[in-house]
């Protein structure tokens, strides 16, 4: 699979992006969309494919976060099933975190 680039915040216009952001990273306490963990979502014929990553391959919260994605979107308007496509490229960095919260988390702008 080729590398994917996270979708820009201004391109996250579908309402399911807000729903996905209700899934919190339990170690950090912020939504996975704001943290830049969700790279893209495609919905075709009622099936949502969520392309995402974790903060690290050994993230102990990974299974919980992926289950949260399934729960948040399954049954959402127009979505009957959810596929989580976990990728490691591009590698997640704090640069992917929404600029509104990056400073609070990492002390940077």
Whether residue 55 is contained in a domain is answered as: yes
User: What is the token pair recorded at 93?
Assistant: 């960095």
Please check whether residue 107 lies inside any domain of the structure. no
**What is the CATH classification number for the domain harbouring 28?**
3.30.300.130
Structural domain including 55 reads 9-90
Q: pLDDT of 83-109, one tens digit each?
A: 999 999 999 988 888 888 887 777 755
- pTM of the complete model: 0.87
pLDDT at 4: 58
What is the pLDDT at residue 30? Answer: 94
3-state helix, strand, coil in the chain (%, to 5): 30, 20, 50
51 inside domain: yes
Q: Residue 91 contacts by C-beta under 8 Å, 6 or more apart in sequence? A: 53
In tens, the pLDDT along 56-73 reads: 999 999 999 999 999 999
104 within some domain: no
Answer whether residue 4 is part of any domain: no
- The total number of structural domains that make up the chain: 1
């Amino acid at each position: 699979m080729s590398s994917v680039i996270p979708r820009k915040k201004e391109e996250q216009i579908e309402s399911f992006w807000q729903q996905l952001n209700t899934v919190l990273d339990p170690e950090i306490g912020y939504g996975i969309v704001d943290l830049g963990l969700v790279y893209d979502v495609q919905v075709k014929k009622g099936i949502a494919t969520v392309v995402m990553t974790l903060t690290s391959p050994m993230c102990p919260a990974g299974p919980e976060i992926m289950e949260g994605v399934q729960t948040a979107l399954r049954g959402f308007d127009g979505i009957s099933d959810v596929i989580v496509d976990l990728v490691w490229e591009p590698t997640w960095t704090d640069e992917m975190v929404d600029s509104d919260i990056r400073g609070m988390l990492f002390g940077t702008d």
